[in-house]
Structure 1
Amino acid sequence: MCELLAISSRQATRLSFSLTALAGHSTPGHSARDGWGVAWYEDRQVVLHREAGPASDSPLARQLASAGPPTTLAISHIRHATRGARTLANTQPFVRELGGRSHVFAHNGDLPGLAADPRYTPGRFEPVGDTDSEHAFCALLARLAPLWQAGTPGLQERLDAVAGFAAELQAYGPANFLYADGETLFAHSHRRTQADGRIAPPGLHWLQRSCAQESEPLLADGVCVGCGYQQVLLLASVPLSQEPWLALAEGETVAVRGGQLLARRRA
């Protein structure tokens, strides 16, 4: 299956991604050569890099591995295509504007039949590609749009809306996703293909780390986060180090900001 990764930190920090190493965590028997992407925030604007080919063949991916961007929030996705051609339009993360902010979304799973269901119309957020993941993102933004008409909604309003939408997606298939609205990161954990071939929870894991010294970077397989007296929280499809990663519960949605877990909701 696809691999998801998100990083949230209290202060801007330089991130280095080894996307080839992250791709190595894919479920055995599943290729991870169908594309990759990384989106990170610079204030309210998003910098997005995506390629439809494997990260192992990409000079850009190697550059990010050695000298990544300074940011407080980043989302990465490594694709195993199950629906839609191997094209840039179908490569995640996806980005759209809502309420004067760049919103980012990446999904791990398969949602057959979602696009044909009239309850999940994309409204003004038309998909560019033909994946169920992008359709789900557009439908989510259509649900959220009324909340953003008068400015940034409260955290509880947003969490309720995202968690409610996530609970509905579970009826279609594995619905693990990462979603950021420029201020808060939301993550929903469901089920994924495990190493033994079962489709079962957990779908996401998280690790929080307080860095006490400038010389203590957070090191994981595929990720290096320069800490420097701050707090960092990672979310990933599978644990990336020997540290005590925690599994999110099946159907759980969390809200993260500044390297801290602010709220959680379970369907």
Structure 2
Amino acid sequence: MNQSLVAFMARSEVPAANLGLGCYEGADAQLIRDPAGAGLVSGFIDGSTQGCGLLLACQGEAADLPAGLANCQPFARELMGTVHLFAMQGELQGLEDSRAFPTGVYTPIGDASAERAFCVLMSRMRVLWLEDTPLPEVRLAVVSDFAARMRPLGLANFIYADSELLFVHGHQQAGDPDRSGLFLGRSEGGIRVSGQALDRGDWQGLEPGEVLMIKGAEVLERCAPFKLWSQLVD
């Protein structure tokens, strides 16, 4: 993970304003968020002796949002005794319309549209989880529908984890709608997902708008991009 972070930061065109890390242990997750870029993330990785089966790391840019813990990804919310994590690249417009994008019991803490988008997703997921742990294919359907609703609002490359499954949505590269927004890499029996190909490994770009459902080192399902009926042109 340290090698991936070093490679990612080296490829960044602007200085990082913050770094964040979410490391799962069962249904819970340890968050290390460093809005000041003080080396907390790299220090945690260097000092950690415990393995982690599912880990999210995020780098924010200085011009994105006001500095502060509330705007530092990944964002976390609890649902039925499980920590859910979310990270997104992009800025979305129109999420303030609570009729179209209700957040339910989840309230954003900071100013990031990514956090509001996460609250919208969690509000929809909560309906599923209130009865019992929903089937993976049902969760994928909700995430894919959510992704289709986010794409018209702006750049929406996101990663969402519910401790068991990882969902990734590769929208597009900023300023280049024909290029994939996320890349999938395999190494040493694991899977890595990144906004950039970090090394010379076997990295493949997701189809723009595609949603992947991942468990451990296996891609369980790929959902091709689709448009909602309200987005279709007569």
Q: TM-score, normalised by structure 2?
A: 0.89
Counterpart selection for 2:24 from 34, 41, 44: 41
Structure 2 equivalent of residue 112 of structure 1: 93
CA separation in 2, counterparts of 1:252 and 1:25?
Answer: 24
**1:85-128 deviations in Å (ceiling 9; x for gaps):** 11110000000001210000000111122223531121101011
**Structure 1 residue 70 displacement after superposition:** 1.4
Structure 2 equivalent of residue 19 of structure 1: 5
Structure 2 equivalent of residue 240 of structure 1: 198
Structure 2 unaligned segments of length 5 or more: list them: 226-234
Matched residues, number: 224
Structure richer in strand, relative to its length: 1
**Structure 1 residue 151 displacement after superposition:** 1.6
Structure 1 equivalent of residue 164 of structure 2: 183
Aligned partner letter, 2:194: A
- Compared CA separation, residues 51 and 17, structure 1 to 2 (3 A): farther
The RMSD of aligned alpha carbons is 1.8
Structure richer in helix, relative to its length: 2
CA separation in 2, counterparts of 1:145 and 1:96?
Answer: 11
CA separation in 2, counterparts of 1:261 and 1:42?
Answer: 21
Structure 2 equivalent of residue 123 of structure 1: 104
Is 1:74 paired with 2:60? no
Structure 2 equivalent of residue 206 of structure 1: 184
Is 1:86 paired with 2:67? yes
Aligned partner letter, 1:43: G
**1:4-28 deviations in Å (ceiling 9; x for gaps):** xxxxxxxxxxx546635422222x3
**Structure 1 residue 208 displacement after superposition:** 2.1
Decide whether the 8 Å contact of 1:19 with 1:65 is kept in 2: no
**Structure 1 residue 199 displacement after superposition:** 5.0
3-state secondary structure, aligned to 1:34: strand
3-state secondary structure, aligned to 1:262: strand
Decide whether the 8 Å contact of 1:82 with 1:110 is kept in 2: no
CA separation in 2, counterparts of 1:263 and 1:18?
Answer: 25
Structure 1 unaligned segments of length 5 or more: list them: 1-14, 212-230
Q: How many percent of aligned residue pairs carry the same amino acid?
A: 32
Structure 1 equivalent of residue 214 of structure 2: 256
* More relative contact order, 1 or 2 (CA 8 Å, 6+ apart): 1
Decide whether the 8 Å contact of 1:115 with 1:132 is kept in 2: no
